[in-house]
Amino acid sequence: LPVLTMLAIYTGLLLSHAGFVPLWSKQFLPVLFLNSGMTTGVAAVGLMFLLTWPFLKEPDGDPRRVVRWMSLAVVVLILLEGYELYQFMTSLAASGGAQQVPTGQFVAPKGGAQAYAYVTQGALAPWFWWGIIGVGLGIPLLLTIVEFIVSPWARVVATAKFAMILVGGAILRFVIVWGGDLKAPLPFPPSKWPIPPVTGG
């Protein structure tokens, strides 16, 4: 268990030591990656369980009891992850003014506020709102309610929910990495790598 925990937070710890990137927070990133790793881990187990169930030697059994326990665990983890994201974004939005960064003593004017705007209102906004908040957190919560109400379709709904959580977890990591384009010092608008557009239809 300790090894798995370190594996989950390793990327967050690694990125958070780049003090010149406002988005890569030492305070929030390791915990966020740990929680996201647990959420996607439960979702991956649930998805594999549902996909392999028809090939097991108990075709007359009902997997819904196991899946429901996994769904309850996912609900708790999603709520925690949503709270962590809220605290993370709120902290970034409130961090205005000049910030002294320990590595190299860079000065990042309103670095946190710029990172917040970049993620929630800029090029990364569609990926953050539709990908992380929508696909990764919000819709799976709604599907869990549907799963408990519509019993005949519970397995199909749970399969879709677990798959969406995995997609949302991957998008979270892409957004964090893409957010690294915003670096200190920031006396001028930083150059950024092109972010893949999200188009409807």
Query: What confidence score (pLDDT) does residue 67 get?
Result: 87
Q: Cβ distance 24 to 18 under 8 Å?
A: yes
Any domain includes 18: no
CA–centroid distance for 101 within its chain: 26
Query: What confidence score (pLDDT) does residue 104 get?
Result: 43
Query: What confidence score (pLDDT) does residue 9 get?
Result: 65
Any domain includes 101: no
Query: What confidence score (pLDDT) does residue 184 get?
Result: 62
Q: In the chain, count of helices (H) and strands (E)?
A: 7, 2
Any domain includes 192: no
Q: How many domains does the chain have?
A: 1
Q: Establish whether the linkage from the previous residue to 152 is cis, with ω within 30° of 0.
A: no
Global confidence as pTM: 0.79
Any domain includes 187: no
Task: Kindly give the residue spans of alpha helices, DSSP state H, lying in the chain.
Answer: 2-16, 29-52, 64-94, 111-120, 125-126, 139-149, 154-178
Query: Which range of residues forms the domain containing residue 51?
Result: 40-55+64-95+109-181
Q: Which of 32, 127, 8 is nearest to 85 (CA)?
A: 32
Any domain includes 196: no
Distance CA 46, CA 65 (A): 12
Any domain includes 30: no
Residue given tokens 């749970």 in the structure block: 158
Any domain includes 143: yes
Q: Cβ distance 179 to 21 under 8 Å?
A: yes
The mean pLDDT values, 10 residues at a time, for the chain of 201 residues are 62 65 82 91 92 72 80 95 94 67 47 85 93 96 90 87 95 90 59 65 54
Query: What confidence score (pLDDT) does residue 89 get?
Result: 93
Element holding 193 (H helix, E strand): none
Tell me, what amino acid is at 5? T
Distance CA 147, CA 153 (A): 7
